[in-house]
Structures are given as structure tokens and as C-alpha cells.
Amino acid sequence: MSPLQPNRFDLEIAEQGSKISGALHMLRSQQYPPDARKGLRRFQIGEVADFMGVTQSHLRQLHAEGKGPEVETVGGRRYYTADQMLELREFLEANKKSDKRYYLPKRRAGEQMQVVSVVNFKGGSGKTTTAAHLAQYLALTGHRVLAVDLDPQASLTSLFGIQPELDETSSLYEAIRFDDEKKSIAEVIQPTNIPGLDVVPANLVLQEYEYDVPLAISSRKDDEGRLFHMRIVNALKAVDDRYDVVVIDCPPQLGYLTITALMASTGILITIHPQMLDIMSMSQFLMMLGGILTPVAEAGAEIRIEWFRYLVTRFEPTDIPQAQMVGFMQSMFAQHMLRNHILKSTAISDASIKKQTLYEVERGDFVRSTYDRAIESLNAANGEIMDLIHSAWGRK
């Protein structure tokens, strides 16, 4: 189109949007072909011991005694698949000597399904990265996990290897819409490459919910509109017996999707990149959030939240202003900050280009110290969150 057509900014901007989208599509399909299906690497004995909470010598002992799954050995090293880790858990659970130990952490009678939302209205604060690694970590440590991508931009969906532009995907919208087309959430769940982890993908249609809610509030004669905040709680009831934990990746805005997710949550993670501007924006987010939740709570809605925590992400310990910002947050909210921070690492950003997390990439593809530092920070933060979930179940 000629750039000289006056006053047709509308056409020009739409054309540029579609041009960028086409070019990006090409670039992405080179890096992650449309027909690519994710596999999963095997895990070394040290990783398996960490995930299972046992010692390496315990694992070697079992192997020497011919117990547990028969694992592949390459160059004297043993490699376990994620399925074999689960098998081993079941073996250890069935043969345990102490009632105080649990090798299968799944929830038991009387323990509620936990719903953890990752929020902040700042894009780039590490929500999707946090949600993806947390959901995978919880699955690899033996929990039954459902990840829900609630961001119409679908970053979590594509990180999990589903391409909403190419694959026919439905989103949570189908399970929370107000009309007769509403389906069960069970119909929009897809498996992932990690055993124990399923996902509800996102797509642009989710955005409709932001328009549907005010319309339903003003026009419906029943209470469905006024009770919009129950829609995710109610949708999840259909799969309550299938999962221990639901992890929701929220969109970077404080709209009805985020509010509905928060009202379904038992735990909230607020991701923060420790820089002055990000913290200022977060303080506005918190004030707005309080302002929105208060009337909902005062109207008698049940608040399920058992804990909320700030999680420092993309942290660079040698960056003095960042360290000061973390100190500043800690001085105010020590009890509400996770002790462990997720470090900024090229391992994390490089892996994400290939639509992988650090639990999926091969350690050998990175500088070892870079990979190790990053994964240690992720495991430590995820372990803390797992402990909060277990405490909510009343376990020590």
C-alpha cells in the first residue's frame, strides 16, 4: 500500500500488523516446525534423587537389588524417564517402612485441590516462565497438575508446544462462557509431554470474557452475571478428582479473567522484577486489586486464599540497584516474600526460544555453571511453593 494515502492510518496499521505476524510466523516455524511434537529427555540420578527426595545411594542400592524400573544405562550412567520416576515412587510408596514418609505426594481425603495463580499486571515480570516451571516441577515431584493459560496471548500454551494459530485449540472460555455453548472444562484439557501435567490452552477468544461479564451483569435476570467470580471455581469442580494442583498463568491486566482466577485461588504468586518502575507499577496493581476484591468479599463471596507470596524473578544479584530493591521489599514484607529468587539466566531465555523450560533442555547444551545456577534457583523457589501447598493440606 502506498504510504501517501492520507488519513488511512487504520488500513496501514492493520496491514503492518499482518505483515509482522506473517514474518514472525515464518521465523517461528523455522525454530519450532508446525508439526513438531515435544518429547522429553531422560533424567540423571542426581536429578531423580532431588525430585524424589531420596539420596542417590538409596537409588543405587535399589538398582543393585534389582528393584524398581529397569532404566537405561549409557556410559555407566543411569537415565530415568519421567514415567520411570513415577513408577519408582509407586514402588517406594508400596514398600515403605514408615507411615511418616510419603513418596506419592498426591492429595488425600479431606485435602482440597489447590489453585495457584501467577499474577502481576506488568508484562515481562516472568509470570509465564514461573507458571510453566512451577507446573512442570510439581508434576515431576509426583503431583497431578493442571496448568491453565488464561492469557489470550497464549505464551504458556506455545511454551508447552501447542500452537493456537495452527492447532485447533479451545480455551477455558468454553467452560466459563455465559451462553448455551458452554462446555465442561474436561473437553478443553490437553495432555503435555510431562506425565502428570495437563494444560488448558489459551487463544484470543478468551478476551471475549472481558465483554461478556459487564453485559451479563447488566442484562441477565438470573444471578449468573453478579456471580461471575464463581465461574472458574465452578468449572474446576468437574475435574476436582483428577488433579492435586491447578496453576493459572494470568493475563498482564486486572480484568475480569484475572479477578475470576483470583477468586478461585488458594494461593497467589505475585512475580516481581526488582526494578523501581516495576515495583511502582506493582504497588498500583496491589491497590487496584484491593479495591476490586474488597466489594466482592463484602458482598459475601467466599475467599479461598490461604497464602500469597511475592516471587522475585529475573534477579541479577550483582546489580546493586536490584539488590537494593529486593532489600526494600524484604524490609516491608519479609513474611510474604519467597526466600529464593529466580535468577536471570540466558539458559532460561535461550530455552524459551526453542519452546522449552529448563526441565526439558539437555544440560549438556549449556555452559554447565550457567544451567546449574538457573535450575538451582528454580528448584529452590518451586520447592518453597510446594511446601506452601503441602502446608495448606495440613502436612508438615
Ligand X SMILES: Nc1ncnc2c1ncn2[C@@H]1O[C@H](COP(=O)(O)OP(=O)(O)O)[C@@H](O)[C@H]1O
Would you tell me which residues interact with ligand X (CB under 6 A)? 123-129, 155, 252, 313-314, 342, 344-345, 348-349, 352
d(CA 373, CA 367): 10
Provide the residue type at 226 as one letter: R
- Going by the DSSP 8-state scheme, the letter that residue 206 receives in this structure is G
Provide the residue type at 144 as one letter: R
**From ligand X, Mg ion, none, which one binds at residue 344 (CB under 5 to 8 Å depending on kind)?**
ligand X
Using CB under 5 A as the binding criterion, the count of chain residues that bind Mg ion stands at 3
Least distance in Å: CB of 252 to ligand X? 6
Footprint of Mg ion on residues 143-162 (CB under 5 A)? 155
Residue of 84, 125, 128, 260 that binds Mg ion (CB under 5 A): 128
Burial of residue 380 (CB within 10 Å: 0-12, 13-18, 19+) is: middle
User: Is the distance from CB of 264 to CB of 243 less than 8 angstroms?
Assistant: no
- Interface segment toward Mg ion; rule CB under 5 A; list 83-91, 125-133, 288-296, 373-381: 125-133
Least distance in Å: CB of 250 to Mg ion? 8
Least distance in Å: CB of 252 to Mg ion? 6
Q: Categorise residue 118: left if φ over 0, alpha if ψ from -120 to 50, beta otherwise.
A: beta
- Interface segment toward Mg ion; rule CB under 5 A; list 80-88, 120-128, 223-231, 259-267: 120-128
CB neighbour list of residue 314: distance below 8 Å, 6 or more residues apart = 126, 273, 342, 343, 344
Q: What is the residue-wise DSSP string for 315-370?
A: B-TT-HHHHHHHHHHHHHHGGGB-SS-PBP-HHHHHHHHTT--TTTS-GGGS-HHH
Least distance in Å: CB of 229 to ligand X? 23
- Interface segment toward Mg ion; rule CB under 5 A; list 128-136, 167-175, 351-359, 381-389: 128-136
Of 230, 234, 238, 201, the residue nearest 213 (C-alpha) = 230
**From Mg ion, ligand X, none, which one binds at residue 290 (CB under 5 to 8 Å depending on kind)?**
none
Nearer CB in complex with Mg ion: 127/143: 127
Residue with cell 485461588: 265
Nearer CB in complex with Mg ion: 131/326: 131
Q: Which residues pair with 191 in a beta bridge?
A: 198
Nearer CB in complex with Mg ion: 271/382: 271
Of 304, 303, 307, 302, the residue nearest 389 (C-alpha) = 307
**From ligand X, Mg ion, none, which one binds at residue 126 (CB under 5 to 8 Å depending on kind)?**
ligand X
d(CA 160, CA 141): 18
Nearer CB in complex with ligand X: 252/274: 252
Nearer CB in complex with ligand X: 84/158: 158
Nearer CB in complex with Mg ion: 122/143: 122
Q: Determine, following the binding rule CB under 5 A, whether residue 170 of this chain makes contact with Mg ion.
A: no
Nearer CB in complex with ligand X: 129/169: 129
Contacts with Mg ion, residue ranges (CB under 5 A): 127-128, 155
